[in-house]
Amino acid sequence: MAKVNRNKTLKVASFFCGCGGMDLGIQGGFKFLEKKYNDLPYEIVYAIDNDPYATAIYNSNFKHSCKTEDVRDINIKNIPKHDVLLGGFPCQSFSISAQNPPRLGYKDEKGKLFFEMVNALKEHKPRFFIAENVKGLLSANKGKAFPMIVDEFEKSGYYIKYKLFDASEYGVPQKRQRVFIIGFKRYEDYMTFEFPKPTTLKDSKINLNSVLDHSANKNEKWFFSQKAVDGMLRVKEKMNKGRVQDLNQPCNTISSHLSKVSLNSTDPVLQVNGKYRRFTPREAACIQSFPKNYKLDSVSENRQYRAIGNAVPPVMMWYIAHSLKDLVNLELDITKVKVALKNINYQSKATEYYKKNKQLEIA
Ligand SMILES: C[S@@+](CC[C@H](N)C(=O)[O-])C[C@H]1O[C@@H](n2cnc3c(N)ncnc32)[C@H](O)[C@@H]1O
């Protein structure tokens, strides 16, 4: 008898896939800090990003490959049929930390890219979509951008739920607050879905120390020069620069600026025996909860920092995707029960027939 493949139920199209944080999370089947994040029933059938360095990393880690193209240049009709649309749409224009250039919100060209998701939803009508963005989205444009975005998603035919997540509450060694917007085509899905509850709270949060590579302390390459340290110390109090991390806590948010991390920026740094050092790209990837075997070296270290800093932590995404698949499993289980009930009827009819005719003539 042909087996029903429950493992690959939902087809996924991924916009703005970057180096694959969201995609790895939804696909599952990876290990992070000795914990296994099981395979989830999603299959990525289409992925696109216009940054060739991010897509080089993506393509060295997945069996399928992603396209390197501007999403505004594609013919949306040509995207394969899918059940879920993903999109961590570009966030620079919504971010509170991106003060220079100033926050332009949805009036900026990049801030308009979420409309590409809206157009794809109107065309393909997948059962779900998952969008992700920075916390600043909630207050951008004096609080006007977020309701406008939700409104556009609703007008494309979806019921919307959203929640602000902190990655450190979901098994990630980083305080990273991000808004997730989930759209449901069906009202019953919308009514049934619940966002996952935090799995790591207070004392159980994963600390930075557990993902550091202490051997990097022996390599001068990762340390800032004395000149940079002196300059930072002069303005430290006033400017809140040189943010040394507490190793017993999750790390502060890392960003795509890590590529240019300097002691004059607000990015997190480490202090080792009185000296200051930056994270290695591998440490940055671990802080984002990428597994140790995630391949990064198809591009330069600067490009790795950038792609990793932009990513959605796979472990946080895994929990969200896991909650969503429960809706579908629930439905599959109902189908299974219906089939079982049908079989019972069939069996009892067969028994009746056998009793009457003393033989079973059912193929
Ligand atoms: C926040 S990052 C997405 C991160 C990704 N979801 C992950 O989890 O790794 C936004 C991405 O949008 C991409 N992007 C920006 N403008 C784009 C465009 N016009 N077309 C396609 N991708 C674009 C950027 O290259 C960047 O990788």
Q: What angle do CA 100, 130, 7 make, to 5 degrees?
A: 140
Query: What per-residue string of b and e applies to 290-324 under the rule 16 or more CB within 10 Å gives b?
Result: bbeebebebbebebbbbbbbbbbbbbbbbbbbbeb
Residues of the chain with pLDDT under 50: 1-5, 96-102, 346-347, 349-351, 353-354, 357-363
pTM score, two decimals?
Answer: 0.86
pLDDT score, position 258:
75
DSSP class of residue 273? T
CA distance 233 to 57: 36
Q: Is residue 207 classed exposed, middle or buried when 0-12, 13-18 and 19+ CB atoms within 10 A define those classes?
A: middle
> Which residues lie closer than 8 Å to 37 by C-beta, 6 or more apart?
25, 28, 29, 30, 31, 314, 315, 318
Catalytic pick among 17, 66, 91, 286: 91
- For a substitution probing ligand 1, which of 50, 86, 133 has the most ligand atoms within 8 Å of its CB? 50
Query: What pLDDT is attached to residue 256?
Result: 84
Beta bridge partners of 251: 174
Name the CATH code of domain 10-202+309-337 (choices 3.40.50.150, 3.40.50.1580, 3.40.50.300, 3.40.250.10).
Answer: 3.40.50.150
Q: Would you say the CB of residue 310 lies under 6 angstroms from ligand 1?
A: yes
Respond yes or no: is residue 17 known to be catalytic: no
Where along the chain do the CATH 3.40.50.150 domains lie?
10-202+309-337
Q: Pick the closest to residue 175 from 288, 34, 263 (CA basis).
A: 288
Q: What is the pLDDT of residue 279?
A: 95
The backbone torsions φ and ψ at residue 320, rounded to the nearest 5 degrees and listed phi first, read: -70, -45
Q: Find out whether the beta carbon of 90 lies less than 6 Å from any atom of ligand 1.
A: yes
- Report pLDDT for 361: 33
Instruction: Report CA dihedral (18, 207, 262, 88) to the nearest 10 degrees.
Output: 20
Distance 92 CA to ligand 1 centre (A): 10
Q: What pLDDT shows up at residue 330? A: 59
113 lines ligand 1 (CB under 6 A): yes
Count Cβ atoms within 10 A of the Cβ of residue 131 and give its class: 0-12 exposed, 13-18 middle, 19 or more buried: buried
Ligand 1 centroid distance, CA of 343 (Å): 49
* Residue where the block lists tokens 């966030």: 91
9: tokens are: 């139920």
Report CA(29)–ligand 1 centroid distance (Å): 23
Q: What pLDDT shows up at residue 321?
A: 97
Closest CA to 193 of 331, 28, 314, 326: 326
pLDDT of 363:
28
Residue 54 Cβ < 6 Å to ligand 1: yes
> How far, CA to CA in Å, does 39 sit from each of 29, 43, 170, 197, 200?
4, 10, 18, 20, 21
